[in-house]
Chain A
Amino acid sequence: MQNRFRSVKILEEVIGYFIHHKIEHMDIQFFADDEKMDITVSGVSETPPIDLENLENLLNESRKPEYEEYYFSLLGATGKRQELPLLGSLVDSGTAKFEDGILTVHVKRAY
């Protein structure tokens, strides 16, 4: 059950990225069990976020197990600030794309 809650925190962080870029309508695909999670969030935006490339790079940073039990609670919707480097250290991989006015962020990880 704990892993599912962690997946929710990851989802909150991804949603936070969209909110930060003033994208208010989102489509969310969310799958999470105790073994793995797979999340895709997409929304309409007139222009690509300037930090999109950074986001994709961060999402594909190597996992850092030593962060798991210590920093996980910093993830999620405080509504104040983004934790993208931390997000990248806690997921296996991800993509961040802007195509035809649609911003899509996809992240996955195995527990």
Chain B
Amino acid sequence: MPLLSSLFRNPNALNQPGPRQDIPHIAEQKRIRYLIFVSLLTLFTGFVFNTPSEILKGLGRIMTSSSILLTDYMVVGNIGSAFVNSGILMLIAIFIAIRNHTSVSGPLVAAVFTIGGFAFFGKNLYNIWPIMGGVMLYAKYQNEPFGKFILPAFFGTALGPLVSQISFGFSLPPAFGISLGILSGIIAGFILPPLANHFIRFHQGYNLYNIGFTSGIIGLLFMSILRGVSLETIPTMILLEGHSKGLSVYLAILFLSMIIYGFVNCTDIFKGLSHLFSHPGRLVSDFVASDGFPVTLINMGLLGFLSTAYVALTGGTLNGPILGGIFTVVGFGAFGKHVKNVIPVMAGIYLANLVFHWEVSSTSSLIAALFATTLAPIAGAYGIIPGIIAGFLHMAVVMNVGYLHGGMNLYNNGFSGGFVAAIIVPILDSLKINSHTWEDER
């Protein structure tokens, strides 16, 4: 029953594909250079849209914005400053990784792209430092090198709006607001690593944005305290419109560069992709280690085109948050997502939009469709139909959890995805729906 077994599968019977032994070796320095290329491409793209003077002014506005969901930096600053903000933040992340001897593996690629993506709508040169500083303090407290905590530090910048909102969003006296915002960020960063390590078991690795779930809980904690002293965030929806053509040219160049780089450096692309697609994608799936950098880049490029096509085909428009979503899908193409396991989840979101009252081409729905791929491992491990169900349920849940953290957690879909995975996975496990695996069929 090959068709049925691709619709349902049993992860208990999964045989891990393991690392390929014939993957082309790409030196660490080359991988770093490629990430720097992406950062510089993004940074210099900013100067296509705006003059240096406009970009500087835009960066100033970005850094002093409240940054809560959804604040499109392409509107708050301008398109150019959003790109420059993204490029600089990616370069900072790469520099910190090099300084801490962290290798360019799947999770690091995902982290760099996620930082770059969310630098279009929430992370900036001001609000990332207190969070990373808090994680650094925690590393000191544990007497461990910061490199061991680099992933929570990078992904944890999802709580940047906590810093910005308290600093600039509540109309507190400037010195007091900024001090309190920075202190809150440091505290959030300090408690993030142990909580991330703990909560990952809640969804058993089926929610790729684990820090999103953890940050949602921390955001909930802080927002509850703030509401206790009558401080409330205002629902925000600042979005760019009418610049899809220019932005899509940049995306096309970026994704084509990935695919060309992969083709040039890989001898047997189809064998490589076939092996990569056989991974369920659950945490921890480092495609750079298991399948090599070139094939991983091709997968990332394909995911980029797929995500952009979804936005275009549903009649959506490109803006900061959508670019952020596409960047994150692409980044996690090195760390759990591939074309085969994201499509069912996206289909589930699309179906949900037909049933529920949300407009499929609205930015909120499109963001949900892109970030819902945090649940791709459910499709990868259990099959197409469970993947569709996961996407469908995610659409309903994600629209209801944002209030809990008041938009302080940029990874709202990671927060929602944690709940959906924690609900679905035990049910699917208990049903023992099929004993076949995709590996059996190959």
A and B from one complex? yes
Chain A interface residues (CB < 8 Å from chain B): 50-51, 53-55, 57-58, 61-62, 64-74, 78, 80-86, 89
Could you say which residues of chain A place their CB within 8 Å of the CB of B12? 80-81
Compute how far the CA of A53 lies from the CA of B200 in the bound complex, rounded to whole angstroms.
29
Contact of B429 among A69, A70, A80, A89 (CB under 8 A): A80
Additional A-B contact list (5), CB under 8 Å, known A66-B102, A71-B200, A78-B201: A53-B18, A66-B148, A68-B148, A71-B283, A89-B286
Contact of B105 among A57, A64, A83 (CB under 8 A): A64
**B145 interface residue per 8 A CB criterion:** yes
Compute how far the CA of A84 lies from the CA of B19 in the bound complex, rounded to whole angstroms.
11
> 23 A-B contacts, Cβ less than 8 Å apart?
A61-B289, A62-B103, A66-B102, A66-B105, A66-B149, A67-B284, A68-B144, A69-B193, A69-B197, A70-B149, A71-B283, A71-B284, A72-B197, A73-B198, A74-B201, A81-B14, A81-B204, A82-B16, A83-B284, A84-B18, A85-B16, A85-B284, A85-B285
A66-B102, A80-B204, A84-B16 given as contacts; is B197 within 8 A of A73 (CB)?
Answer: yes
Chain B interface residues (CB < 8 Å from chain A): 11-12, 14-19, 21, 102-103, 105, 107-108, 142, 144-145, 147-152, 193, 196-198, 200-201, 204-205, 282-286, 289-290, 429
- Cβ B151 vs Cβ A70 within 8 A: yes
Q: How far is the CB of A83 from chain B (nearest CB, A)?
A: 8
- Cβ B148 vs Cβ A69 within 8 A: yes
Q: How far is the CB of B239 from chain A (nearest CB, A)?
A: 33
Q: Which residue of B has the minimal Cβ distance to A68?
A: B148
Compute how far the CA of A54 lies from the CA of B279 in the bound complex, rounded to whole angstroms.
14
List 8 A-B pairs, minimum CB-CB distance, nearest first. Answer: A54-B18, A68-B148, A69-B148, A86-B284, A51-B15, A73-B197, A65-B148, A70-B151
Q: Which residue of B has the minimal Cβ distance to A90?
A: B284
- Cβ B16 vs Cβ A54 within 8 A: yes
- Cβ A74 vs Cβ B152 within 8 A: no
Q: Which residue of A has the minimal Cβ distance to B155?
A: A70
Q: How far is the CB of A26 from chain B (nearest CB, A)?
A: 20
- Cβ B284 vs Cβ A74 within 8 A: yes
